[in-house]
């Protein structure tokens, strides 16, 4: 029999059309036993069945969404039953921009589970988003798949989920750097505009480098403005995170942006990353537009 505390369970959920089937295939490739379209009330029974055998699988991944009418009604009860079994499932929540979802539905020509004669596709998607907001708020990982190809999504899930497994549980902080000219990450809890900091782009010798290079970090954070801002910014971040943890939040996404997402945002983000790691936070980082900037 497999011990419950050593057998990870993942629930893949989110907005219809956001890539949940692709995500489950990724977990299948990672060695998970996967089931799609499972009613939430059946998840404890499936978990119990898997645990009663010496499983050759790395974990259990279940796809749950609005295709099952009782999905939301049975969610809290299922979590309570799983907790009694010693299992706390980790939730991967997928979403995408409304226009992207509508284009995907136009391509597949499949009906939305909430769509009806009185509710069109756009209204159905908006209603689904509202209904799923409480689950999204407590997910271990939220991914906006709007700009991802199938291959991109596979790579991102593999990388991020492996990092989450290594970090274990506790307050999770995910840092995203981005370029404003490419768009603000929709999954961010906080967005910080760093375009007031000294810009290495205008120095031809520094332009090809990125915020990962020491010369760029010295240029941005070594200036009087940069050094003072970084000091106050780190003080602010390390002050507010425990307050959110006290309120029961255990996932915060910080988005740091500059014009192209290559120099200033990356330098500051790496400083935040180092500080939070030093303080014991489970922190991950994603330089979303660094290679585009």
Q: Which of 108, 142, 162 lies at the terminal end of a domain, its last residue? A: 162
Q: Which of 109, 142, 162 lies at the terminal end of a domain, its last residue? A: 162
| pLDDT, position 249 | 74
Contact assessment for residue 67 and residue 21, using Cβ atoms and an 8 Å cutoff? no
CATH code (residue 65): 3.40.50.300
Q: Are residues 142 and 191 in the same domain?
A: no
In a domain, 229, yes or no: yes
Q: Are residues 184 and 276 in the same domain?
A: yes
**Would you state the torsion angle of the CA atoms of residues 130, 131, 136, 138, taken in this order, to the nearest 10 degrees?**
120
Q: Are residues 137 and 183 in the same domain?
A: no
SS3 assignment for 247-283: CCCCEEEEEEEECCCCCHHHHHHHHHHHHHHHCCCEE
pTM, two decimal places: 0.63
Q: What is the pLDDT along the chain (293 residues), one digit of tens a residue?
A: 555 556 788 999 999 999 998 899 988 888 889 999 888 989 999 988 888 876 678 889 999 988 888 888 889 899 999 988 888 888 999 999 999 999 988 887 788 888 887 788 899 899 999 999 999 988 888 889 988 888 888 888 877 776 666 555 557 899 999 999 999 998 899 999 999 999 999 999 999 999 999 999 999 999 999 999 999 999 999 999 988 877 767 689 999 999 999 999 999 999 999 999 988 888 889 999 998 86
Q: Are residues 21 and 68 in the same domain?
A: yes
Q: Are residues 71 and 178 in the same domain?
A: no
CA dist 275 and 7 (Å) reads: 31
In a domain, 3, yes or no: no
Q: Are residues 102 and 202 in the same domain?
A: no
| pLDDT, position 70 | 84
Q: Are residues 55 and 73 in the same domain?
A: yes
**Would you state the torsion angle of the CA atoms of residues 261, 265, 271, 273, taken in this order, to the nearest 10 degrees?**
-60
Q: Are residues 155 and 198 in the same domain?
A: no
CA dist 281 and 279 (Å) reads: 6
- Look at the chain and report how many structural domains it folds into: 2
* Residue 14 annotated as binding site: yes
Structural domain harbouring 215:
172-287
| pLDDT, position 160 | 73
* Residue 120 annotated as binding site: no
| pLDDT, position 172 | 82
Q: Are residues 203 and 154 in the same domain?
A: no
* Residue 16 annotated as binding site: yes
CA dist 124 and 15 (Å) reads: 10
* Residue 21 annotated as binding site: yes
Q: Are residues 157 and 177 in the same domain?
A: no
In a domain, 114, yes or no: yes
Which among 1, 58, 53 has a CA at the least distance from the CA of 33?
A: 58
The 10 Å Cβ neighbour count of residue 199 is 18
| pLDDT, position 54 | 64
Contact assessment for residue 128 and residue 15, using Cβ atoms and an 8 Å cutoff? yes
* Residue 18 annotated as binding site: yes
Tell the burial category of 251 from Cβ atoms under 10 Å away from its Cβ (0-12, 13-18, 19+): buried
Q: Are residues 97 and 29 in the same domain?
A: yes
Q: Which of 162, 191, 217 lies at the terminal end of a domain, its last residue? A: 162
In a domain, 128, yes or no: yes
| pLDDT, position 187 | 86
In a domain, 240, yes or no: yes
| pLDDT, position 248 | 67
* Residue 66 annotated as binding site: yes
* Residue 17 annotated as binding site: yes
| pLDDT, position 167 | 54
CA dist 187 and 96 (Å) reads: 10
In a domain, 2, yes or no: no
* Residue 211 annotated as binding site: no
In a domain, 221, yes or no: yes
Q: Are residues 152 and 184 in the same domain?
A: no
CA dist 222 and 228 (Å) reads: 9
* Residue 68 annotated as binding site: yes
CA dist 173 and 283 (Å) reads: 5
User: Phi and psi of 90, rounded to 5°?
Assistant: -95, 140
| pLDDT, position 289 | 93
In a domain, 51, yes or no: yes
């Amino acid at each position: 029999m497999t011990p419950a505390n050593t057998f990870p369970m993942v629930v893949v959920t989110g907005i219809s059309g956001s890539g949940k089937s692709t995500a489950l295939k990724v977990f299948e490739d990672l060695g998970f036993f996967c089931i799609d379209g499972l009613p939430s009330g059946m998840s404890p029974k499936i978990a119990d069945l898997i645990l009663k055998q010496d499983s050759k699988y790395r974990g259990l991944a279940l796809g749950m969404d609005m295709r099952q009418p009782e999905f939301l009604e049975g969610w809290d009860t299922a979590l309570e039953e799983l907790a009694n079994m010693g299992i706390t499932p980790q939730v991967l929540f997928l979403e995408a921009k409304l226009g992207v979802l509508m284009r995907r539905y136009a391509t597949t020509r499949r009906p939305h589970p909430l769509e009806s004669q009185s509710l069109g596709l756009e209204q159905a998607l908006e209603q689904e988003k509202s209904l799923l907001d409480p689950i999204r708020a407590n997910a271990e990982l939220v991914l906006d798949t709007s700009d991802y190809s199938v291959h991109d999504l596979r790579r991102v899930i593999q990388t991020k989920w492996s990092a989450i497994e290594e970090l274990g549980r506790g307050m999770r902080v995910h840092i995203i750097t981005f370029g404003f000219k490419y768009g603000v990450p929709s999954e961010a809890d906080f967005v910080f505009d760093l375009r007031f900091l000294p810009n290495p782009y205008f120095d031809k010798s520094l332009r090809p480098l990125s915020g990962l290079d020491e010369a760029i970090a010295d240029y941005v954070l070594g200036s009087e403005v940069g050094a003072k801002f970084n000091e106050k910014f780190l003080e602010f971040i390390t002050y507010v995170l425990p307050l959110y943890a006290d309120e029961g939040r255990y996932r915060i996404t910080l988005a740091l942006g500059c014009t192209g997402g290559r120099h200033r945002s990356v330098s500051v983000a790496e400083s935040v990353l180092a500080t939070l790691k030093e303080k014991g936070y489970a922190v991950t980082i994603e330089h979303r537009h660094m290679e585009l900037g």
